[in-house]
Amino acid sequence: MAKVGYINDRASESVAAQSRRVRSAGASRVAEGGIRVLLEGCNPGDVVVASSLASLGKSADEAIAVALSVHDAGHELVLVEEGIDTTEPAHAAFFLHLAAVASVAGSRRGRHTGGKPKLSETDVARAVGMYESGRYTVAQIVAETGVSKTTLYRRLGGAGAGGT
């Protein structure tokens, strides 16, 4: 089990500060360039170390989606600033709490009159992360997130539009 640092160049904290923080938390290597690069560089059982929850994404929805993508890919997560380490029993429910927050936030944004409820940006970002990890079929992603194949492929820019 290795610790892999995740650096997000779009975060408000500088790349250098994030790098120092994840290395001080024991990350032996660092992934920079997005969730896809991170997940492709992780081996089964690796722990992802990030400077903070905010460093995972530009928005709260994106940060939550990235954290849930890490979990969906079978990895644990350490958030240095918040003192969260999902390998510890006291923090094992962290991902369940994030999913609940994402669900509540999505349902509040989805309130409107008539028609199909609007998907939250968290759900769509999570679906994209799952697709990009290469570990899920489109059918599994649709079932897990509620995001349609059409919406997923539209967000991916048409990538895989002929697949299932």
The domain of 105 spans 100-155
> b or e along 54-89 (b: 16 or more beta carbons within 10 Å of the residue's beta carbon)?
bbbbeebbbbbbbbbbbbbbebbbbbbeeebbbeee
* Arithmetic mean of pLDDT, 124-153: 86
Determine the Cα–Cα distance for residues 162 and 88; give it in Å rounded to an integer.
42
As a whole-number percent, the residues of the chain with pLDDT over 90 amount to 13
pLDDT for res 162: 47
In a domain, 59, yes or no: yes
Domain end among 92, 123, 144? 92
How many structural domains comprise the chain?
2
Whether residues 63 and 120 share a domain: the answer is no
Residues 111 and 64 grouped into a single domain:
no
**Span 81-127, pLDDT tens digits:** 999 999 888 887 887 888 787 777 665 555 545 555 667 778 888 88
CATH number at residue 14: 3.40.50.1390
Which pair of structure tokens corresponds to residue 128? 């994209």
Judge if pTM exceeds 0.95.
Answer: no
Taking the C-alpha atoms of residue 3 and residue 30, their distance in angstroms, rounded to an integer, is 9
The predicted structure's pLDDT at residue 146: 85
Confidence (pLDDT) at 21? 92
Residues ≥6 apart with Cβ < 8 Å to 43? 2
* 107 plus 56 within the same structural domain: no
Which pLDDT score is estimated for 163? 46
pLDDT exceeds 70 at position 59: yes
Last residue of a domain, one of 56, 72, 92: 92
- Find the mean pLDDT for residues 61-81: 88
Same domain flag for 115 and 150: yes
CA distance 50 to 67: 10
Same domain, 46 and 116: no
* Residue appearing with tokens 């409107």: 112
Q: Write the CB contacts of 131 (distance below 8 Å, at least 6 apart in sequence).
A: 138, 141, 152, 156, 160
For the ranges 36-50, 89-103, 132-146, which has the lowest average pLDDT? 89-103
